[in-house]
Amino acid sequence: MAVVDQAPVPDVMHKPRSHSEFEIIRRFFATPNLSFPREGIELGIGDDAALLQVPPNKNLAMSMDVLISGIHFPLDADPSLIANRALAVNLSDLAAMGAEPYCFTLGLVLPHSDEKWLAGFSGGLEHLARQYNCPLVGGDTSRGPLSISIQVQGLVDNNRATRRSGANVGDKIYVSGTLGDGAIALLALGLDSHLGSEFSLAVSEPSAACRQYFEDAYFKPQPQIGLASAAGKLFSSAIDISDGLQGDLQHILDASEVAGNIRLGAIPYSKSAMCCVSPENRLRAALFGGDDYELCFTVAEKDCVEAESIAKALGVSITCIGDINAGEGIDYLGTDDSPVEATEQAFQHFSATT
Amino acid sequence: MAVVDQAPVPDVMHKPRSHSEFEIIRRFFATPNLSFPREGIELGIGDDAALLQVPPNKNLAMSMDVLISGIHFPLDADPSLIANRALAVNLSDLAAMGAEPYCFTLGLVLPHSDEKWLAGFSGGLEHLARQYNCPLVGGDTSRGPLSISIQVQGLVDNNRATRRSGANVGDKIYVSGTLGDGAIALLALGLDSHLGSEFSLAVSEPSAACRQYFEDAYFKPQPQIGLASAAGKLFSSAIDISDGLQGDLQHILDASEVAGNIRLGAIPYSKSAMCCVSPENRLRAALFGGDDYELCFTVAEKDCVEAESIAKALGVSITCIGDINAGEGIDYLGTDDSPVEATEQAFQHFSATT
């Protein structure tokens, strides 16, 4: 984790909201395009709390992600892209539970009031909020170092949420989309990665198309809401890949008290990842990079054909990359299913000896 | 609003959670004392989202407050007091809606991992969480400048939440507890206030008892959950006083499309406020100070006796300070109900001419 210095202490301590804060809320957030009516929302922005009427046959799913400037997004990025990323990574958590987006709240900390920035940010939120019928219903604003706290609420049929703990021996392990793009995007966008100096582009300059691809991968991750909604009933467990496949799959294995193997050759990569980084760094990005916001999920063998068929009909790529076994931990398999060491330690060892 | 500089950009951009972050969550937050079971909570910390089963006869109330170090609490304050304040100010929003606490989520941004700080912070949350049967069910942690985002969830009978918009002409205006203590506490604790240089203590040094009183007022505001739960059905409207009586009552008046008057002589003050500041500064603190987290509410004249009787039985002080009238804005009344100018402008004028 990067170290960030403490924020400087301002001149005065106080809480009262200023006129300009209410103006900001009115002009940029409590708008018909962002805080729009939706069934089940009794009261949105403008009182001490929002009020929801959750349908009796539904569980309410709630997930909060905090994004800090300079860690989770570049400070100088387009505010509409920052907004898109902030809401999308939260929606991805709902997808992992098989929940339909319902509404969200926003805690926005801004160093100063900047109308152009706020208009861009608000517009970026609107786009996704409308796409997923997920209006803003409340939150808070404050002065301070730029950060964004979003809590999303979702709805899922009672007792039908996809938990991490449901994987069974014999299930197949799948991932949606392609992996590693989130980490490779940092390189393509000229940002530093935590994966070390060995983690670099194999090309001196990505093509304009690749650069655009990675910018979209980083700022506009596509939460797999549609896939989870259509096929989630067939998933025995699921998680969204925010911290890298290795760590996130391990959470499923731990919660389900099982082991898993990954066929390294089966991990899906984008054309741009194939074009811009070495095979070793693609693997490193997929396993340890994070920020992919794809789903890793397990499916009972009998349901695999149906799950693949649903995904195909949706135009969403899903790939079987391994199996759930008895035991604990992850085994990595190379060509001919021979065991391979693909741990962080192995990469570090490799780096140290080359 | 105070201006806080932008946080410095760290060395690397990434999202993956480190081992130590999971350890922090396990040791200090996903504990039996803080993330305890509660009816209606199907799943707490440990998956992509928490899952709630909201009773069909209840609305879910949700409120988020973000507290920034150096603005909403002093950076070097006791972490258990910071935690108490952060959760209490959120619970106060539920009280204003007449909602019973249900559960909360926490977005904690910390500059570095400090076990002693985390243990104190976690302990401060536990205390209130247990008191109000309001467990922690999820959230996020990150490195960065110290800030605390809390979202509280509450339950309130369907269509029975107390909104700001329900005040009617002829209703009486009440406040709970005493006003001005939050702002005067800043002076007593040696912190700067936004109320200007005229806003100062009338004593060179508050007594130890007064100092302790104001420390408690600042860090341990008592959310009026009990009052709202017992008497809230008699409130035609309510708001919690976080920004000062003037601004917060004005929100009720705006939402209800009515006017109000305040009898300045009726505003209740604590003994410590009477002891430590001048009458003029008490009034300034009550009207413009904020941070009191008492309730301002309206009651139909026919219900006043019952409301006062319920409050008395609870041992909670409530005081009628004025009336709801037709029109708009707030009229201030002095002795003999004569009109008085008690606006911020009047105070500024007073300051400028003395």
| Chain B residues whose beta carbon lies within 8 Å of the beta carbon of residue A59 | 42, 51-53
Nearest 10 degrees: CA dihedral of B14, B16, B19, B20? 50
pLDDT above 70 for B231: yes
131-170 in B: which are within 8 Å (CB) of A?
137-147, 149, 151-154, 156, 158-159, 161, 163-165
Residue A16 has a pLDDT of 62
* pLDDT > 60? residue A352: no
Chain A residues inside the 8 Å CB shell of B9: 69-70, 74-75
pLDDT at B164: 97
- Residue in B2, B145, B192 closest to A4 by CB: B145
Q: Chain A closest CA to B141's CA: distance in Å?
A: 7
Within 243-302 of B, beta carbons closer than 8 Å to A belong to 243-244, 247, 255, 288-291
What's the rounded Cα separation, in Å, for the pair B20 and B145? 18
User: What pLDDT was estimated at residue B349?
Assistant: 58
Burial class (CB in 10 A: 0-12, 13-18, 19+), B103: buried
User: Residues of B comprising the binding site?
Assistant: 48, 63, 65, 72, 93, 139-140, 164, 240, 242-243, 291, 347
Contacts of B69 in chain A (CB under 8 A): 6-7, 9
**Higher pLDDT among residues B21 and A332, named by residue:** A332
What is the model's pLDDT at position B218?
Answer: 94
Residue of B nearest to A92 (CA): B48
**The two three-digit tokens of residue B21, written as one number:** 């972050």
Confidence band for B344, pLDDT divided at 50, 70 and 90: confident
pLDDT of residue A4: 34
Among A6, A49, A152, the residue with its CB nearest the CB of B94 is: A49
Q: What is the pLDDT of residue B16?
A: 62
B 81-120 residues with CB < 8 A to A: 93-94, 96-97, 99, 105-107, 109, 111-112
> pLDDT at position B192, please?
86
The pLDDT assigned to B82 comes to 97
Annotated binding site of A for substrate: 72, 291, 347
What residues have CB less than 8 Å from A79, skipping those under 6 apart?
A117, A118, A120, A121, A124
* Residues A63, B49: C-beta atoms closer than 8 Å: yes
C-beta atoms of A16 and B194 within 8 A: yes
Cβ distance of A13 and B71 shorter than 8 Å:
yes
ipTM of the complex: 0.92
Q: Which residues of chain B neighbour A150 with C-beta distances below 8 Å?
A: none
How many other C-beta atoms lie within 10 A of the C-beta of residue A224?
Answer: 27
Give the residue among B97, B279, B119 at the shortest CA–CA distance from B199: B279
Residue ranges of the binding site of A for ATP? 139-140, 164, 242
In this structure, which CATH number among 3.50.30.50, 3.30.1330.10, 3.40.50.1970, 3.30.2400.10 belongs to the domain B19-157?
3.30.1330.10
Of the candidates B327, B160, B345, B324, which has an alpha carbon nearest to the alpha carbon of residue B249? Answer: B324
The closest CB to that of B16, out of A68, A161, A290, belongs to: A290
Kindly tell me if the per-residue pLDDT of A350 is higher than 70.
no
Share of chain A above pLDDT 70, in %: 92
Residue B18, chain A, CB below 8 Å: the answer is: yes
* Chain CA centroid to CA A141, Å: 23
Query: DSSP letter string over B285-348?
Result: IIIII-----EEEEE-GGGHHHHHHHHHHHT--EEEEEEEESSSEEEEE-GGG-EE--SHHHHH
Question: In this model, does residue A9 exceed pLDDT 90?
Answer: no
What is the mean pLDDT of the segment spanning B2-25? 58
Mean pLDDT of B127-139: 97
Higher pLDDT, B3 or B43: B43
- What average pLDDT does the structure give for chain B? 92
pLDDT band at B5 (very low <50, low <70, confident <90, very high): very low
Q: Residue B13 — pLDDT band, cuts 50, 70, 90?
A: low
Using pLDDT thresholds of 50, 70 and 90, give the confidence band for residue B15: low
**CB pairs below 8 Å between A and B: how many?**
351
Q: Rounded mean pLDDT of B171-179?
A: 98
Supply the DSSP symbol for A39: T
CA distance B229 to B160: 11
Q: Residue B2 above 90 pLDDT?
A: no
Task: Classify strands B339-340 and A58-68 as parallel, antiparallel or unpaired.
Answer: unpaired
Q: According to the model, what pLDDT value does residue B19 have?
A: 65
Phi, psi dihedrals of residue B316, rounded to the nearest 5°: -105, 125
Residue B257 clears pLDDT 60, i.e. is over it = yes
- Specify the pTM: 0.93
Q: With an 8 Å Cβ cutoff, are A10 and B3 in contact?
A: yes
The whole-chain average pLDDT of chain A stands at 92
Contacts of A295 in chain B (CB under 8 A): none
- Per-residue pLDDT of A212-242, as tens digits, reads 999 999 999 999 999 999 999 999 999 999 9
Does A43 contact B151 at a Cβ distance shorter than 8 Å?
no
- With 50 as the cut, is the pLDDT of residue A81 above it? yes
Exposure of A3 by Cβ count < 10 A (0-12 exposed, 13-18 middle, 19+ buried)? exposed
A20/B1 touch (CB, cutoff 8 Å), yes or no = yes
Measured between CB atoms, does B237 come within 8 Å of chain A? no
Q: What does the alpha-carbon distance between residue A41 and residue B120 come to, in Å, rounded to a whole number?
A: 37
Average pLDDT over residues A177-190: 96
User: A94 with A152: CB under 8 angstroms?
Assistant: yes
* Mean pLDDT, range B215-235, rounded to an integer: 96
Collect all residues of chain A within an 8 Å Cβ-Cβ radius of residue B52: 54, 59-62
* Chain A residues touching B343 at Cβ < 8 A: none
Least-confidence region, from A123-132, B311-320, B344-353: B344-353
Contact assignment for A10 to B94 by CB distance below 8 Å: no
Least confident range of A39-43, B161-165, B190-194: B190-194
pLDDT at position A15, please?
53
What is the C-alpha separation between B314 and A38, in angstroms, rounded? 39
The secondary structure of chain A in percent helix, strand, coil, rounded to multiples of 5, reads: 40, 25, 35
- Please list, in sequence order, all residues whose beta carbon lies within 8 angstroms of the beta carbon of residue A168, skipping any fewer than 6 positions away: A236, A256, A258, A298, A300, A324
B9, pLDDT greater than 70 = no
Q: Are A32 and B25 in contact (CB under 8 A)?
A: no
* Candidates B49, B75, B191; nearest CB to A93: B49
> A57: part of which helix (H) or strand (E)?
none
Does residue B121 contact residue B28 with C-beta atoms inside 8 Å? yes
**pLDDT for the residue B33:** 96
Q: How far, rounded to the nearest angstrom, does the alpha carbon of residue B85 sit from its chain's CA centroid?
A: 8
Residues 306-345 of A with CB under 8 A from B: none
3-state secondary structure of B25: helix
CB-based contact (8 Å) between A8 and chain B?
A: yes
Would you say residue B294 has pLDDT above 60? yes
Dump pLDDT digits (tens) for A271-303: 999 999 999 999 999 999 989 999 999 999 999
The predicted structure's pLDDT at residue A18: 67
With cut-offs at 50, 70 and 90, classify the pLDDT of residue B7: very low
The predicted structure's pLDDT at residue B354: 39
What is the separation of C-alpha B180 from the centre of its chain, rounded to a whole number of angstroms?
Answer: 13
Q: Does the domain made of B164-353 have the CATH classification 3.90.650.10?
A: yes
| Domain boundaries of chain A, sorted by first residue | 19-157, 164-353
